[in-house]
Amino acid sequence: MDMTAAILATVVTAATPLLLAALGELIVEKSGVLNLGVEGMMLAGAVGGFIAASLTGSLLIALVAAVLAGMAMSLVFAVLVLGLRANQVASGLALVLFGVGLSSLAGQGYVGQSLGAAWRLFPESWREIPFVGPALLAHGPVVYLSIALVPLTVWFLYRTRAGLILRAVGENHDAAHGLGHDVVRTRTLAILWGGALAGLGGAYLSLDYTPMWAENMTAGRGWIALALVVFAAWRPWRLMAGAYLFGGITILQLHAQGAGFGMPSQVLSMLPYLATVAVLVIISSNRSRLSLAAPGSLNKTFHPPA
Amino acid sequence: MLTLEARAAPSAALSILAPVVAVGLTLAAGYLLFELLGVDGGRALFVFFVRPVQDLYGLGELAVKAAPLILIGVGLALGFRANVWNIGAEGQFALGAVAGGAVALAAHGVEGWWTLPAMIAAGALGGAAWAALPALFRTRFNTNEILTSLMLTYVGVLLLNYLVHGPLKSPDSFNFPESRPFGDLALLPVIVEGTRAHLGVLLAPLAVLGGWFVLARLHLGYQIRVIGLAPRAGAYAGFSQRRIVWATLLGSGALAGLAGVAEVAGPIGQLQPAISPGYGFTAIIVAFLGRLHPVGVFFAGTLIALSYLGGEFVQIELGLPLAVTGVFQGMLLFFVLGCEVLVRYRIRLGGARRAVRGGAT
């Protein structure tokens, strides 16, 4: 049972950065914008948070810095695709390349440094509670925030007026514009929110998951987050299930390596990527349902009638 | 208030001028960046862009670095034109190196005139096979090729890693993860004395010519252009979207595989884990900077190759981190994409004069 609790705890931690980044991207895509730059924004958050933490010693300031770093990156993207109407796919890729370079430049002096003790929300004594304690109560606050954001995202999208406008803009930007909604403003806010959550997801990696900075430490998690949004058919609860499924696959691979399972470590490391491909193929083969789920204006440039 | 007004047709003059403006803006931003890092901006730009190519050896290095970028960039550009987003060229590059390298290792001791041609064919096939997977998934299951080609990159690089740690590891490498060095007949000969410029470098201009020929002279190129600009018009004309997806993915995969085998049979001379400084990803910038045109890709590839060399020079001479290269490349792509607006729109002060509606892109 201790083993099960330990595995569950590591699944939760492995899933958290994916869940955060994917929840942000879900909102962006619901507004009709495809931002492929999640990996770049996560790296900006990871390095920004780590630098702020080692300068100030405050994890709260570090999280704020990470959120701001992710938002700054997403703002560049917003200016390109909304202001200058640049191609969304290419602009997202640019964001990744820029984020990889900028984060390793900024983090140059911090490689290999590590932060002190991990950040825990609940008192140590709570961890004595059988099973639940070690599995669910031994995490930092970001983990609980990521879980709380799932129902909040559902509530926002389907129960608020702003959420309704966001979905309308994403489904048909011309119609939303005709009804008097500000397409560019809605999308800018959605993109910034996506940047904030990606930055937070990155910071979780460098502040809590492995409290250190290493170049390219996101290791493709930003791309897996993008795949999760497709996997979830743009639905938050399914997104959460997907994030935990992928967290589980990541952990499975680590445990298999640790147990000296008779397979080379490189082959085991392929598992999360192969699983992503397999899941994408299975999900997208159901053509009719997928086309119903994807926002109608996704990845289309809005040309406002003058 | 600035407003954008769509042009009836893209401006031809500006489509050549826009990348030049983007390069200019990147230089200005680079100057500021260097000043921010506490270095004299003018001197740093000189070291970055001029010092690397002041002698023959440097020019040879430029060709060695530009060739893979141009090879991959030409393939990607044709795909991007048709809205086929292969961003897994880095993995196809690795598979090309693996397939070509495996031939070289299998031929150990029995090499002949046939070895290099066989390696090159294997490299192109390896890259094309790796790109065939996203093509199959897209045409058969409607799976987004952006994500699948990218995921397969991680798999491909891990596969190369596994092979040089295991089955293809040299018996006398003192446990370093590397294959045995290729035999002399499995190496691309140097073509310019006193440099590292090897025979494989010539593949790049050939790819440019081939790409131009496909795009400008073949019906396939016409279909690529029509489907990219107006998918519905292409469908009415009876052009097969599936065929275009297959052709562009296999073509760009084969070119990336070629670049991969040329790299291991050229300057590297063996299989090892680190065979690419991100050529497959950087070639995406090359394709856009070259405005998705093979001839443009040639110039863009040369410029971006210079940024790799420049990064090494500012690292050695000014003590700046190598990551400056990535920042430069990212900024350049931002400016290129941003300047694209000049080609497609008029920028007006105040409100636009009349309602102009553009289509979706």
What tokens appear for A78 in the block? Answer: 């917003």
Nearest residue of A to residue B141 by CA position?
A: A285
* Chain A stretch 236-265, residues whose beta carbon is closer than 8 A to a beta carbon of chain B: 264
Instruction: Single out the residue of B205, B202, B89 nearest to residue B150, CA to CA.
Output: B89
Model pLDDT for residues B155-197, shown as the tens digit of each residue: 999 999 999 988 888 888 777 888 889 988 899 999 988 899 9
Separation CA A63–CA A68 (nearest Å): 9
What tokens appear for B131 in the block? Answer: 């790109």
| ipTM, two decimals | 0.86
Q: Which of A90, A96, A108 sits opposite B323 (nearest CB)?
A: A108
Query: Of all helices (H) and strands (E), which one includes residue B219?
Result: helix B219-229
CB contact (8 A) between residue B152 and residue A277:
yes
| SS3 call for A224 | helix
Q: What is the pLDDT along chain A (306 residues), one digit of tens a residue?
A: 577 787 888 888 899 999 999 999 999 999 999 999 999 999 999 999 999 998 988 889 999 999 999 999 999 999 999 998 888 988 998 899 899 989 988 988 888 787 766 666 667 677 777 776 676 777 888 999 999 999 999 999 999 999 999 999 998 998 899 898 999 999 999 999 999 999 999 999 998 888 888 888 888 899 889 989 988 889 999 999 999 988 888 888 777 777 766 678 888 888 888 988 998 888 887 766 555 577 888 888 888 775
Q: Which DSSP string corresponds to B5-38?
A: EE-SS--HHHHHHHHHHHHHHHHHHHHHHHHHTT
Separation CA B244–CA B294 (nearest Å): 18
| SS3 call for B347 | strand
Model pLDDT for residues A266-304, shown as the tens digit of each residue: 888 888 889 889 988 888 877 665 555 778 888 888 887
Chain B CB within 8 Å of residue A303 CB? yes
Q: Contact, A46 vs A203, CB < 8 A?
A: yes
Tell me which chain B residues have a C-beta less than 8 angstroms from the C-beta of A267.
Answer: 158, 162
Tell me which chain A residues have a C-beta less than 8 angstroms from the C-beta of B3.
Answer: 306
CB contact (8 A) between residue A86 and residue B337:
yes
Residue linked to tokens 């590292």:
B196
Q: Contact, A225 vs A18, CB < 8 A?
A: yes
Chain B CB within 8 Å of residue A162 CB? no
Q: Contact, A143 vs A13, CB < 8 A?
A: yes
Q: Which DSSP string corresponds to A263-290?
A: S-HHHHHTHHHHHHHHHHHHHHH-HHHH
Nearest residue of A to residue B331 by CA position?
A: A98
* Alpha-helix runs per DSSP H in A31-110: 38-56, 59-78, 88-106
Q: How close A109 gets to chain B, by Cα (Å)?
A: 10
Chain A CB within 8 Å of residue B151 CB? yes
Q: Strands (DSSP E) along chain B, which ranges?
A: 2-6, 345-349
Q: Contact, A108 vs A102, CB < 8 A?
A: no
CA distances (Å), origin A76, targets A92, A195, A299, A303, B111: 10, 10, 17, 19, 53
* Confidence check: pLDDT of B360 > 70: no
Q: Which of A76, A223, A274 sits opposite B147 (nearest CB)?
A: A223
- How confident is the model over B272-301, as a mean pLDDT? 91
Model pLDDT for residues B13-34, shown as the tens digit of each residue: 887 888 889 999 999 999 999 9
Chain-centroid distance, C-alpha A77: 16
| SS3 call for B360 | coil
| SS3 call for A234 | coil
Q: Contact, B227 vs B82, CB < 8 A?
A: yes
* Chain A stretch 60-99, residues whose beta carbon is closer than 8 A to a beta carbon of chain B: 76, 79-80, 84-87, 89-91, 93-99
Chain B CB within 8 Å of residue A102 CB? yes
